[in-house]
Amino acid sequence: MSLNIDQIRGLFPVLHQEVHGKPLIYFDNAATTQKPQSVLDALSNYYGRDNSNIHRGAHALADRATQYYEETREAVREFVGAKEAAEIIFTKGTTESINLVAQTFGRKFIGKDDEIVISTMEHHSNIVPWQMLCEEKGAVLKIIPINEAGEIHFGEFEKLLSPKTKLVSIVHASNALGTINPVRKVIDAAHAVGARVLLDGAQSTAHLEINVQELDCDFLAFSAHKLYGPTGLGVLYGKREILEAMPPFLGGGEMIKEVTFEKTTYNEIPFKFEAGTPNIADVIAFKSALDFIKQYGKPAIKAHEDALLAHANETMKPIKGFIPVGTAEEKVSVLSFNINGMHPFDVGQMLDAKGIAVRTGHHCTQPLMKRFGIEGTVRASFAVYNTKSEIDKMAEGLAQIARFKNK
């Protein structure tokens, strides 16, 4: 099915504005996507009609809010193909989801001289929590190398695996390069040595169909705001038996079964990991974002985005001084590049002056930038509401900018 992009654009109020006197072209979707009207309405309806604390009050509003909140949990379960809704934990985002695993699973099951494997292309939020854990426990962090195209060396990865490997934590799709990692193979190889696998799905969940049962990953972390949903909300999926074996993360209300001053017993999953009043409004509104994606279907969305990326590759290639960064075979719709002789900040600022929003810098992947020997890149990342004519405008603008240093 091909999508009616004009109609889809109509659902996103933020797209219809001018910046610096030019129509906005929003190409910073890997940082965060825009939100459809249905998500905005869900937020306003919650506060306007249903606001109350969940899982507690014995009154109509609390019942309603609890029901909607749990409906989102079920929608997320379906979205990732989990066996049961109890395996879906709401967090603040990918970062918190990964930290939760490091602080609970990691502290309990990873000890001295155990090994954690990550890749060269990880986001800082999938590096720093493991460094903190390694420091505390005397465990060792191992890094999967990558090739010039920005793909992991699978053979080198296999060599890193041993009975000492307790966890492989790897990005499903790279935010800086777009590379889609062969996670199916990674998971099988890791399981063969008895290691658990965490997938950082921050950049994959909006584009790729994901079924955690088929993939057999042990954890999946992602953020609602990169999925047309609200900011400050994320998900941690974990297999039931692992989540049950993990100690709680934060202590407080909601996560307990019974508290006495002598001893506290903990609630069942997922509530064991959701201490305190959660981000109720955003959880409820997130369901509208998931409905939006479901309505069009990820295959159709991906097909549109793939076409955009192919078009971008084609139109940028002739630009003098254009240097693509990340040319993997399998990619999500991320175009990372530099212009010869120019700093990415300058390119980004000049594109901004043309109304084109891109991200510039290291994209929270400094070790990856170091691997390529660059300070950063300019990154254009496409979503379902972007168009080929927007890409043409960027190419035109870039050609003009590149002439500045590439005469």
Ligand X SMILES: Cc1ncc(COP(=O)(O)O)c(C=O)c1O
Q: How far is the CB of 259 from other proteins (least distance, A)?
A: 46
First to last CA, the chain: 44
Given the complex with ligand X, which of 94 and 104 has the nearer CB atom? 94
> What is the DSSP code string of 69-133?
HHHHHHHHHHHHT-S-GGGEEEESSHHHHHHHHIIIIIHHH--TT-EEEEETT--GGGTHHHHHH
Given the complex with other proteins, which of 74 and 375 has the nearer CB atom? 375
Given the complex with other proteins, which of 317 and 403 has the nearer CB atom? 403
Residues with Cβ within 8 Å of residue 60, at least 6 apart in sequence: none
CA 321 to chain centre: 31
Positions 145 through 204 that interact with ligand X (CB under 6 A): 171, 175, 200, 202-203
- Cα–Cα distances (Å) from 327 to 20, 87, 306, 334, in that order, read 32, 35, 14, 10
- Structure tokens, 144: 């999967």
Q: How far is the CB of 376 from ligand X (least distance, A)?
A: 14
Phi, psi of 282 (to 5 degrees): -70, -35
Residues with Cβ within 8 Å of residue 174, at least 6 apart in sequence: 121, 150, 181, 203, 326, 334, 365, 368
Q: How far is the CB of 234 from ligand X (least distance, A)?
A: 6
Stretch that binds ligand X, among 79-87, 118-126, 289-297, 369-377 (CB under 6 A): 118-126
Given the complex with ligand X, which of 186 and 339 has the nearer CB atom? 186
Q: How far is the CB of 349 from other proteins (least distance, A)?
A: 6
Given the complex with ligand X, which of 237 and 322 has the nearer CB atom? 237
217 annotated active-site: no
Given the complex with ligand X, which of 123 and 287 has the nearer CB atom? 123
Given the complex with other proteins, which of 209 and 375 has the nearer CB atom? 375
Of positions 66, 72, 125, 315, contacts ligand X by CB under 6 A? 125
Q: How far is the CB of 361 from other proteins (least distance, A)?
A: 8
Q: Which helix (H) or strand (E) holds 324?
A: strand 322-324
Residues in the interface with ligand X (CB under 6 A) total: 13
Q: Binds 346, which of other proteins, ligand X, none (CB < 5 to 8 A, cut-off by type)?
A: other proteins
Stretch that binds ligand X, among 70-78, 92-100, 131-139, 347-355 (CB under 6 A): 92-100
Of positions 29, 66, 94, 165, contacts ligand X by CB under 6 A? 94
Distance CA 377, CA 178 (A): 13
170, 219 in Cβ contact below 8 A? no
Phi, psi of 390 (to 5 degrees): -65, -40
Q: How far is the CB of 319 from other proteins (least distance, A)?
A: 17
Q: Exactly one of 140, 364, 369, 374 is catalytic; name it.
A: 364
Stretch that binds ligand X, among 56-64, 79-87, 119-127, 177-185 (CB under 6 A): 119-127
Q: How far is the CB of 124 from ligand X (least distance, A)?
A: 8
Interaction between residue 93 and ligand X (CB under 6 A) = yes
77, 88 in Cβ contact below 8 A? yes
Residue ranges in contact with other proteins by CB under 8 A: 20-21, 342-343, 345-346, 349-350, 352-354, 375, 404
Peptide bond into 270 cis (omega under 30): yes
Beta bridge partners of 357: 26
- Cα–Cα distances (Å) from 212 to 122, 183, 218, 287, in that order, read 20, 11, 8, 19
Q: What angle do CA 330, 304, 323 make, to 5 degrees?
A: 50
For binding to ligand X (CB under 6 A), which residues are involved?
93-95, 123, 125-126, 171, 175, 200, 202-203, 223, 234
Active site residues: 364
